Amino acid sequence: PLVLGIESSCDETGVAFVRGTTLVGDALASSVDEHARFGGVVPEVASRAHLESMIPMLERASAEAGHRLDDVDAIAVTSGPGLAGALMVGVASAKALALCLDKPLYGVNHLAAHVCADVLDHGPLPEPTVALLVSGGHTNLLVVRDIASDVEELGSTIDDAAGEAYDKVARVLGLPYPGGPHIDRAARDGDPEAIAFPRGLTSRKDMERHRFDYSFSGLKTAVVRWVEARERAGEPVPVADVAASFSHAVADVLTRKAVLACTELGISDLQIGGGVTANTQLRELAEKRCAEAGIRLRVPRIRLCTDNGAMVAALGSQMVMRGLPPSDLALPADSSLPVASVQA
Ligand code: ATP
Ligand code: MG
Ligand code: FE
């Protein structure tokens, strides 16, 4: 099937065409620069940017794919979770297209779409697979038995998301928003073992109650305190070492619990997705630990890790191929759609 995907949950307006598991057209506009001076995404600004970019992105993706909108078999759209006003622009656009073109509409979960993105690089997902989703607003450990309809949550962050921690630590280090890529770059010249930052929820007691959960707020506070103590003492802050040690602490807990989930559940495949998956140390440590544990690791190219329309089209395409019925045209935008609700 040829499926059109529309993404507008945060600050990226993504539109893409996917045939089966092949990406044939992909257009992306971002309002990230407009939010930078506020140090975070401003919902009103994001919604307006989606409105301005939606039609140009539909035209660009269509031209790249060499297909008219009318050629598609179905339309998939992110219906949640995300910013309500931002989601509404994508959902309203998709509904309008579905009505005008008389095509089935699939409301898909943004988080499941992050996991599904990898089919565009490496073909159908092995099922079951453990999936680690690490993005700006979420950090989840999942068991995927059927990417189109059966995703179970093993655990999640009990406070900050991993990406959120990156953005906050970047601010303390005086690096621009969004912080992830800047910390990643700074960390290349640093020593990941220089500073022993805490690993949240890994004590023996926490491993009983929060075996597959994460916590990054204690780590963030530890970094802030460490940097402030340096500044108070009038000493220079070794930005590269702090960045490398912080990134190592994040990558360590993320991969440790993901590998543990695989071995305890007897699942030998791990899928990693979401914006933080772009992180160099996370990719390297995941590769090393999976190789040691005999787990097959799948990580998509970086462009497919951050928000895009391709992952939405990819998940919609899986729903069509598996014969799932379309969503209702009254489909709402749901800002807090739970991760286990793959289709809305
Ligand atoms: P969600 O998917 O939970 O709704 P989101 O869509 O805003 O949130 P993504 O686009 O998936 O999140 O990811 C953005 C996050 O990824 C930001 O917090 C950003 O700092 C982080 N990030 C991007 N590149 C890197 C990197 N190289 N290292 C670490 N973090 C990164
Ligand atoms: Mg973004
Ligand atoms: Fe996202």
Structure-block tokens of residue 44:
């009103």
What are the φ/ψ torsions at residue 280 (nearest 5 degrees)? Answer: -60, -50
Q: What ipTM does this complex have?
A: 0.97
The number of the ligand 1 atom at minimal distance from the alpha carbon of 81 is: 4
Q: What is the pLDDT of residues 201-259, one digit of tens each?
A: 999 999 999 999 999 999 999 999 999 999 999 999 999 999 999 999 999 999 999 99
The number of the ligand 1 atom at minimal distance from the alpha carbon of 166 is: 20
The DSSP element (H or E) to which 105 belongs, if any, is strand 105-109
Q: Taking each helix axis as running N to C, give the angle between helix 43-65 and helix 84-101, from 0 to 180 degrees, rounded to the nearest 10.
A: 30
Calculated CA dihedral for residues 256, 259, 265, 266, nearest 10 degrees = -150
The number of the ligand 1 atom at minimal distance from the alpha carbon of 138 is: 3
Q: What is the pLDDT of residues 44-81, one digit of tens each?
A: 999 999 999 999 999 999 999 999 999 999 999 999 99
Cα of 202 from ligand 1 centre, angstroms: 24
Residue 133, marked binder: yes
pLDDT bucket at 322, cuts 50 / 70 / 90: very high
Q: Is the peptide bond before 128 cis (omega within 30 degrees of 0)?
A: yes
Q: Is 37 a residue whose pLDDT tops 90? A: no
End-to-end CA distance of the chain: 20
Pair 82, 107: CB distance under 8 Å: no
Residue 328, marked binder: no
Q: Model pTM greater than 0.90? A: yes
Give, using CA atoms, the residue closest to atom 13 of ligand 1: 275
Q: What is the pLDDT of residues 127-153, one digit of tens each?
A: 999 999 999 999 999 999 999 999 999
Structure-block tokens of residue 299:
């990580």
Using the structure block, give the residue that is written with the tokens 């993105």.
117
What are the φ/ψ torsions at residue 87 (nearest 5 degrees)? Answer: -60, -40
Cα of 177 from ligand 3 centre, angstroms: 16
Bridging pattern class, strands 269-273 and 150-156: unpaired
Pair 14, 320: CB distance under 8 Å: no
In whole angstroms, how far apart are CA 170 and each of 93, 226, 237, 285?
A: 35, 14, 13, 21
Which of 288, 298, 333, 314 lies closest to 126 in space, CA to CA? 298
Adjacent-strand bridge partners of 74: 3
One-letter identity of residue 152: E
Using the structure block, give the residue that is written with the tokens 């945060």.
10
What are the φ/ψ torsions at residue 145 (nearest 5 degrees)? Answer: -95, -30
Cα of 275 from ligand 3 centre, angstroms: 6
CA pair distance 34, 279, nearest whole angstrom: 23
